[in-house]
Amino acid sequence: MIQLTNIQKVYDGTRVQVRALQGVDLTLENGDYVSIRGRSGSGKTTLLNIVGTLDNPTAGEVLYDSVDPFRFSDADLSRFRNRKVGFVFQEFELLPELTVLDNVALVPRIGGANRKEAQRMATAVLERVGMTDRMHHYPSELSGGEKQRVAVARAIVNDPAVVLCDEPTGELDEANVAAVMEILDSLNAAGTTLLVVTHSDEVAEHARRCMYMVDGVLHEAS
Ligand SMILES: Nc1ncnc2c1ncn2[C@@H]1O[C@H](COP(=O)(O)OP(=O)(O)O)[C@@H](O)[C@H]1O
Ligand SMILES: [Mg+2]
């Protein structure tokens, strides 16, 4: 279970302060599928980055099964993130110089798996997202939808506690939106905890719990 309590985030600019999150409470149970809708600038990415421990809150608490990862040293926090959090970004963020297989295998490699074990793990998740026949291709040789399927494989390869998706379909055409959402739905059906932020109503409605964010405040959708 992941529990956020009264999360605040203030960005200190040179002239203005931006209060990007203004007291966010959020609980993610294991196996949840939660979406957060909101306009550009409402604080969605800020929240996702804090849930994913990429950025720390100005105030408030993040707990993973009662553990506060922000108390860890930098090295331990990196290790924690590698094991516990999967990220899927709008722009895929694959490494261009690595093959599909190596992009995915890099995550367990960083986590300490040997090359053979990492490749075995990567092969298994690439099969789950239907990318087995593109394993030895480079990202530049893939369509947007294929790149996002690889990014999803990379996000799940270490069997994380949560997969965080930031506008996962923002760069995709309609057919690829459907294909990627089908994969996310099937991951959740198999037990993966998902938090998806999006400005798309259609994407948001795939979740079992829909929330929305306005000016750094999170609301439950009715
Ligand atoms: N690194 C930053 N420094 C200063 N302000 C930021 C930074 N990142 C985001 N913001 C501001 O915080 C607010 C929320 O941004 P963001 O979380 O990116 O929203 P969203 O993902 O919903 O578009 C916006 O007003 C944005 O300009
Ligand atoms: Mg954003």
- Spatial separation of the C-alpha atoms in residues 162 and 83, rounded to whole Å: 10
Q: End-to-end distance of the chain based on CA atoms, in angstroms?
A: 23
- Helices 115-128 and 100-110 cross at an angle (nearest 10°) of 120
Closest Cα to atom 8 of ligand 1 = 46
Burial class of 22 by CB neighbour count within 10 A (0 to 12, 13 to 18, 19+): middle
- Spatial separation of the C-alpha atoms in residues 93 and 71, rounded to whole Å: 28
User: What is the full DSSP assignment across 68-109?
Assistant: -GGGS-HHHHHHHHHHHEEEEETT----TTS-HHHHHHHHHH
Q: Which helix (H) or strand (E) holds 186?
A: helix 174-189
Q: Is 167 left (phi over 0), alpha (psi -120 to 50) or beta?
A: left
State the distance from the centre of ligand 1 to the C-alpha of 85, rounded, in angstroms. 21
Which pLDDT score is estimated for 195? 98
- Spatial separation of the C-alpha atoms in residues 155 and 104, rounded to whole Å: 8
Which pLDDT score is estimated for 221? 86
Global pTM value: 0.95
**DSSP summary character for residue 131:** -
Could you confirm whether domain 32-53+74-220 is CATH 3.40.50.720?
Answer: no
Query: Is any ligand 1 atom within 6 A of the Cβ of residue 148?
Result: no
pLDDT tens digits along 50-100: 999 999 999 999 999 999 999 999 999 999 999 999 999 999 999 999 999
Query: Is any ligand 1 atom within 6 A of the Cβ of residue 44?
Result: yes
> What's the whole-number average pLDDT of the chain?
96
Ordered by start, the domain boundaries in the chain are 32-53+74-220
> Is 11 strand, coil or helix?
strand
- Spatial separation of the C-alpha atoms in residues 63 and 70, rounded to whole Å: 9
Which pLDDT score is estimated for 21? 98
* In the chain, % of residues over pLDDT 90: 97
17-28 β-sheet, strand order? 17-28, 2-12, 59-64
Which pLDDT score is estimated for 13? 83
State the distance from the centre of ligand 1 to the C-alpha of 46, rounded, in angstroms. 6
Closest Cα to atom 26 of ligand 1 = 41
- Spatial separation of the C-alpha atoms in residues 11 and 18, rounded to whole Å: 5
Residue 222 has pLDDT above 80, yes or no: no
